[in-house]
Amino acid sequence: MLEQYKINMAKKYGAKLLKHVELFCFLISDDKDLMVYDDFHNTGNFPFDILHFQSYKREKSMTNKEDFSNKCRENEKLALEGLFQEPVEHIHIQLLNDLSITYEELFEKYLNRKSSSLLSILQLWDAPTKNNDYFLI
C-alpha cells in the first residue's frame, strides 16, 4: 500500500499529530487492515481510534515468551515491532541492550502493561546515567 495514500487516509480520519500519522502508516499494512480500521475502530476520535486499533493488532499478533525470544534472536527489530505494534528505532534496541534486559524479562513486563509503548516499558528499568542521551528519545 502506498505510503502517501496511508498518510492521506490518516489525515482524512483526523490525524493531526505526526506521531499519530506515523503510527497509522505503520499499523495499516494492507487493504484488509484499512477495512478493519474503518469498519470497527473508526469512531471519529482519531487519537482514541488509532490506539484502539493498535490494541486490536497487539492482541491479534500475541505470541508466547518462547516464540518472542526466538523471533528476537532472528530479527530483534521485527520481533519488537510485531509485539508492540509500533515502529522501533535503533535507539530503543540500544537502550534494551545497554540495560541488559533479556527478551524474557521484556515479554513479562509487556504482559503486565499491554497498552504501554516499548519506551514506556524500558523506562521501568533504571537507565545508566553516564554518557547517555536517552532523555532525547
Amino acid at 50: I
* pLDDT at position 22: 97
Side-chain-side CA neighbours of 49 within 13 Å: the count stands at: 19
Cα–Cα distance, 120 to 100 (Å, whole number): 16
The reported pLDDT for the residue numbered 125 is: 80
Residue 24 confidence (pLDDT): 98
Signed CA dihedral, 75, 93, 33, 10: sign only: negative
Of the candidates 84, 78, 72, the residue with the CA atom closest to the CA atom of residue 115: 84
pLDDT means per 10 residues, the chain with 137 residues, are: 93 97 97 96 97 96 95 97 97 93 95 93 70 53
24 touches 9 (CB < 8 A): yes
CA angle 34, 121, 128 (to 5 degrees): 135
Domain boundaries, the chain: 3-60, 65-136
Contacts of 68 (CB under 8 A, 6+ apart): 79, 83, 103, 107
| Radius of gyration for the alpha carbons in the chain, expressed in angstroms and rounded | 16
